[in-house]
Structure 1
Amino acid sequence: MVQKGQFLERSTLIPVGTEVMEGTAHRGKHKPPLLILPPRPDEGGGMDHVIAAELAWAAASAGFPTLRFNHRGVGASQGARGTGEALLEDAEAAMRVLLENADTTAVAVASLHGGAQVALALQARFPAVGGLCLVAPADVEVSALGRVTCSLLVVQGEEDARLPRAAVSASVARAGGDFEVIDDAGVTFQRNLSQVGRVVSHWLQRLSGG
């Protein structure tokens, strides 16, 4: 039995085509629910990434449903590892499971590192993505950030030089979004990771009208 205040994610199966991906979900009463996209498989990332765990804990602690998952071919997820369109199909399948489980028509999406590619493509294709958070984004065109049409949050470590900070800030501003720089943090947020969770939690609360 889960006691009040405990954080317990439940195993979730996500069908995609004839295959099944593994995921973990946490229930919540607030909307929108948060879909957490892991780093791309070629980056060696999965749903157990420390940043993914922090985002899931922060969102669930604030009362928002969450879902994180492994792309096909990663961890216990069936199938072969994919790229491009295949990763987008995985994210869409996970999004639809979250929409159904949370009984809602809109989700917020948070991505890690190169998962920003998938997140941006998902938002461009599906109006159900009502909020987009890119944590330590990599391998994306900075100009694409300025074309995001929903609520946008970009979180970058102070020591993360993969994308030029000034250009990211300007592009996020064009989209009317928010850009947060975490002091003394690098690409993996070995320092001040909890600040990332707090920033994303506050963003979700703004999306919910709180």
Structure 2
Amino acid sequence: MRNGGKKEKVTEEHIVFSSSGLKLEGIIHLPKCDTALPAVVICHPHPLHGGDMHNNVVMAITAALAEIPMAALRFNFRGVGGSEGEYDEGNGEQDDVVAALAFLESLGSIDRSRIGLAGYSFGAKAALPVALRQRNVQAVALVSPFLADVEWERLKSYATPKLFLCGSEDGFIAARKVQRLAAELPGISRCEIIAGADHFWWGYEARVAEKVASFLKVVLQTE
């Protein structure tokens, strides 16, 4: 651990950044560290079904990353909470992910060579297209991802390290299919199925957060 193994204070700051002319709100979590930090943008689940940056999975991942230590930016997509705009069926939300990454990289305390992207459910679907076209993303963690066949095809030429997490009882995601397809992808590509967990991860937040944090810790070389 680059901070000598000591648990350090984490600063949480409410921030506002711009995406396609809209003001979006977020919270940046910055562990105290004497070197530039690796960092991750975390994308929340579906806005029309109560998803926001305070979601249980998003919060658990944020806390687990701070322990590494690793910075994290969680934010509200357009039309959610204090963010301007309205739901855009996953299209404008991709612009929001790009803007969040740009904001994160603008911070002097962040190591721009160690940037990761994580998304849960709708957040995974919004994050993946951005990761596929942005070379600055060094690792991707997708929790309960809704991915179409065309997205799996695009992943076949994407060698950036990838983690897929699914619950065995997820009624929306075919976990075994995700596991099979992930095994066919180039580079580091892992899929883990958490026994007993469903799509919402209640009671399993610590498990999913530990899996995501452990993966990003190794891939972004924080030790």
Fold match (TM-score > 0.5): yes
Give distance in 1, aligned partners of 2:46 and 2:194.
23
The more displaced of 16-25 and 6-15 is 6-15
Equivalent residue, structure 1, for 2:189: 177
Equivalent residue, structure 1, for 2:92: 86
Contact 2:52 2:76 in 1 (8 A): yes
Whether 1:32 and 2:41 are equivalent positions in the alignment is: no
The more displaced of 24-33 and 88-97 is 24-33
Indicate the SS of the match to 1:197: helix
Counterpart AA for 2:215? W
Indicate the SS of the match to 2:95: helix
Give distance in 2, aligned partners of 1:25 and 1:152.
23
TM-score for the superposition, normalised by structure 1: 0.89
Equivalent residue, structure 2, for 1:196: 208
Whether 1:58 and 2:61 are equivalent positions in the alignment is: no
Distance 1:27 1:91, change over 3 A: same
Give distance in 2, aligned partners of 1:140 and 1:41.
20
Distance 1:103 1:165, change over 3 A: closer
Give distance in 2, aligned partners of 1:5 and 1:103.
18
Equivalent residue, structure 2, for 1:151: 161
Counterpart AA for 1:169? Q
What aligned pairs does 1:5-24 form with structure 2 within 5 A after superposition? 5-24=8-27
Give distance in 2, aligned partners of 1:25 and 1:171.
33
Contact 1:43 1:114 in 2 (8 A): no
Give distance in 2, aligned partners of 1:146 and 1:53.
31
Distance 1:188 1:107, change over 3 A: same
Whether 1:41 and 2:44 are equivalent positions in the alignment is: no
Counterpart AA for 1:153? L
Relative to its length, the structure with more strand (as a share) is 2
Residue deviations 1:142-164, cap 9 Å, x none? 73454433100011112114232
Distance 1:14 1:66, change over 3 A: same
1:138 offset after TM fit, Å? Answer: 2.3
1:80 offset after TM fit, Å? Answer: 2.3
The more displaced of 50-59 and 132-141 is 132-141
Equivalent residue, structure 2, for 1:168: 178
1:118 to 123, 126, 132: 126
Q: What percentage of aligned pairs have identical amino acids?
A: 26
1:74 offset after TM fit, Å? Answer: 0.6
Equivalent residue, structure 2, for 1:138: 146
Indicate the SS of the match to 1:169: helix
Give distance in 2, aligned partners of 1:121 and 1:54.
24
Aligned residues: 207
Q: Let me know the Cα RMSD of the aligned residues.
A: 2.0
Gaps of 5+ in 2: 1-6
Gaps of 5+ in 1: none
